[in-house]
Amino acid sequence: MVPVNRKKTILEVVQRILLLLSLLFFFPPSVSASYLTAKGSNLYNDKGEVVRLTGVNWFGFETTNMFPHGLWARDYHGILNQIAQMGFNCIRIPYSNDMLRDDATPGEPNFFGEDPFFPRDKTQFNVELTGCTPLQMLDEIIRYAGVLGLTVVLDNHSREHDGYMNELVWYTDKTSEQQWIDDWVMLAQRYKNNPTVIGFDLENEPHGKTTSGGATWGTGNIATDWNTAAQKCGNAILAVNPDVLIIIEGVEQYGSTMYWWGSNMRGVKKQPIVLSHPEKLVYSPHEYGPEVHQQPWFFESGFPDNMTKIWDDAFGFIVKENIAPILIGEFGISNMDSYEGKAGIWFEKFIEYMKTIGCSWTFWALNPNSGDTGGLLDNDWTSTVDWKVDHVNPLCAPLINEPIAVKKPFRSSNESSHYIRIHGKIVSVDSRHTSNGSLSLIDMRGRTVRRTTGTLLSLEGIVPGVYSVQYLPADHGSTVIRITIN
């Protein structure tokens, strides 16, 4: 028999090994990554460089499905690869408190179609997520996002699944304020020392009229003052995870002034949020056009020139007065021609405004099944809505974290060419075919992302994803193969 103290020693060793493996699983130590800090209206990485979060919302965890939508048509590797390839550096992932429970059961997706961004047999789609709880699914999606160098903002979208339309404030009869804080502290501990998880958006769109029990700011009513609750929760998070950004939205009504849900930040002027680590504070309004709601300012005679002052008054002053950084957590559009073109006019005007103030943002949404706005992906969950991508892509900032994956391209099984060879990160052309010609790397949208004259093409620095390599010699027809860069 092994003595009791010996058993304890063995158990401690095993526990330490498991802890080390879990840390390596979430974040290998050789990777260059950075937490972010705020100074004035800018975010900085650990090198002191100004950075911006520029990303997209991928929703579903907060719904009855309790997993990100689209996994019935795609593999999560492929969706994340495509997000990175479109040029984003961040994903805002909405979730509900319901999905955090041990007995939470995700729906069972029915798989169809193909995933060109992560070719694998359809029967293997999302196999890594099989049998997982929703929270374990989130773990794995965060892990692979980190592999690609993407960052993640977790957005507490509702307490109950699909409850965001009915919940005015941050607690319900089922989920108390203390439970809401405890859930955030649990997530803060779970993702501590994981720079992929860059920020926590504490509550999605506190709203409602102050006369009917809606969220308030600075009134002294602890039952409805969102700023007081946000400050309390943010400090509880920072007590266990002092690295993560605390992202705080506004309310709908401040004084007599109404604005979008969660986007009225006027209270910041008199009652700013005070955190134990003030360098971790980010404010986050949302902004939409007339497709979401026909606000009166869209129909004023001065539209769209009236919008700059409206935005400045609601939230832009936070940046312009160098108070703190802002992250536009949601903005989106379905059709540029909606409301006699007012939707498109608003959209382009707001993009120009974001350029002017230099803020971070996450577009709503990746999902095509967003009822108000549609998505960056079309209804097949693979094709992109190019005009949307073309509008937001110029606003994208570089990756904040370095991709973890070693890029190992491989030729697809249907390759017919014997001219093109893959050697590590180099594409080369067989020496028997070295007449004047060119090699091009083409992404899934048909854009040439790299081209060289000659017989060698470097893949250094290419975003992971699926590409075509085209060799176009002078003396015969072109040859094309498809490769995947992981």
Does 356 lie in the same domain as 475? no
Does 63 lie in the same domain as 149? yes
pLDDT tens-digit series, residues 115-125: 888 877 788 88
Q: Which residues are within 8 A (CB) of 448 and not within 5 positions of it... i.e. 6 or more apart?
A: 440, 441, 442
Beta bridge partners of 327: 360
Within a domain: 178: yes
Question: 69-104: buried (b, 16+ CB within 10 Å) or exposed (e) per residue?
Answer: bbbbbbbbbbbbbbbbbbbbbbbbbbbbbbbbeeeb
**How far apart, in whole angstroms, are the C-alpha atoms of residue 290 and residue 280?**
33
Does 418 lie in the same domain as 374? no
How many C-beta neighbours within 10 Å does residue 257 have? 11
Does 419 lie in the same domain as 379? no
pLDDT tens-digit series, residues 195-231: 999 999 999 999 999 998 999 999 999 999 999 999 9
Q: Confidence class of residue 250 from pLDDT cuts 50, 70 and 90?
A: very high
In this structure, what CATH number is given to the domain that contains residue 451?
2.60.40.3080
Does 423 lie in the same domain as 384? no
Active site residue 108: no
Question: 378-388: buried (b, 16+ CB within 10 Å) or exposed (e) per residue?
Answer: eeebbebbeeb
Does 418 lie in the same domain as 390? no
Predicted pLDDT of residue 469: 80
Within a domain: 28: no
Distance, first Cα to last Cα, the chain: 49
Does 429 lie in the same domain as 306? no
Boundary of a domain, candidates 338, 364, 395: 395
Q: Which domain holds residue 422?
A: 410-485
Within a domain: 231: yes
| In contact, 318 and 265? CB cutoff 8 Å | yes
Total domains present in the chain:
2
Does 78 lie in the same domain as 193? yes
Active site residue 205: yes
Classify residue 285 by burial, with Cβ atoms within 10 Å: 0-12, 13-18, 19+: buried
pTM, two decimal places: 0.82
Boundary of a domain, candidates 331, 364, 395: 395
- In order of 61, 130, 132, 274, 297, the CA distances from 138 in angstroms are 8, 13, 9, 30, 39
**How far apart, in whole angstroms, are the C-alpha atoms of residue 214 and residue 72?**
37
- In order of 42, 94, 284, 297, 453, the CA distances from 450 in angstroms are 32, 35, 36, 45, 11
Residue 44: name the closest of 317, 360, 316 by CA: 360
Q: Is 71 helix (H, G, I), strand (E, B) or coil?
A: coil
Residue 83: name the closest of 144, 137, 171 by CA: 144
The amino acid that residue 273 corresponds to is I
* Active-site residue identified among 205, 249, 287, 291: 205
Boundary of a domain, candidates 372, 395, 418: 395
Does 419 lie in the same domain as 337? no
pLDDT tens-digit series, residues 322-375: 999 999 999 999 999 999 999 999 999 999 999 999 999 999 999 999 999 999
Q: Is 399 helix (H, G, I), strand (E, B) or coil?
A: coil
Within a domain: 17: no
Does 420 lie in the same domain as 324? no
CA quadruple 171, 166, 331, 209: dihedral, nearest 10: -80
pLDDT tens-digit series, residues 389-437: 999 999 999 999 988 643 444 343 333 344 677 777 788 776 554 556 7
Predicted pLDDT of residue 4: 34
Does 371 lie in the same domain as 282? yes
Does 320 lie in the same domain as 193? yes
